[in-house]
Structure 1
Amino acid sequence: MSDDDYVYDEESGEWVARSTLASSAAAVDVRDAVGNPLADGDSVTLIKDLKVKGTNQTLKRGTVIKSIRLTGDAQEIDCRYEGIKGLVLRAEFVRKR
């Protein structure tokens, strides 16, 4: 393994193998607003207008977010959208496509 294969786990305060962290993130059951299970790579649609903190943008209801990533938290998903870096959405505001 190289140094790139380890990440810092803030909860435990230790460096752990990326594969170990990925398997623990996959163990969390993340569900959208209507109860559908979400997985890495899914596309979701916003069910509510959301103001984005740190910008003057508002993501409108019906906006499609492609290729989400699970964070290991049952209520948060990591995603990308045009012009917004590090966007994290709450699972309660999205619906699986």
Structure 2
Amino acid sequence: MRDNVAWFKSSGVCKVSVRDSNGNELSAGDSVSVIKDLKVKGTSVTLKRGTVIKNIRLTDDEESVECNTDKVKGLVLKTCFLKKA
């Protein structure tokens, strides 16, 4: 059973389509902007609306992306709060 799952994932058949709040498809390395002020848990930093985040990385989850900002490294943001820049 595990061999079948590994083959299915490696074959590219189950390609994840990550989309922003407007429905535009996102890919690794894209730049996005924040559409709403977001408080970052564990810090006193707030990402303001319009903040541009460059060079995003896609995750296995189609509803989140990994990114870095000037103030916070290693953020995972939901795509419903992002739009393609």
Q: TM (normalized to structure 1)?
A: 0.73
Alignment check: 8 A CA contact 2:22 2:83 kept: yes
1:39 is matched with which residue: 27, 31, 34? 27
Query: Could you tell me how far apart the structure 1 residues matched to 2:49 and 2:58 are?
Result: 21
Does 1:29 find its partner at 2:17?
yes
The counterpart of 2:49, out of the listed 61, 81, 84, is: 61
Structure that is richer in strand per residue: 1
What corresponds to 1:96 in structure 2?
A: 84
Matched residue pairs, number?
77
- Residue 85 of structure 1 and its aligned partner are, at CA, apart by 2.1
Instruction: Name the CA distance, whole Å, in 2 between partners of 1:44 and 1:34.
Output: 12
Structure 2: 5+ residue runs without aligned partners? none
Q: CA deviation at 1:66?
A: 0.2
Determine the C-alpha separation between the residues in 2 that align with 1:36 and 1:85.
25
RMSD, aligned α-carbons = 2.0
Q: Deviations over 1:47-66 (max 9, x none)?
A: 00000000001000000000
Partner of 1:82: 70
Report which structure shows greater RCO (CA 8 Å, sep ≥6). 2
Q: Sequence identity of aligned pairs in percent?
A: 55
Structure 1 moving runs of 4+ over 3 Å: none
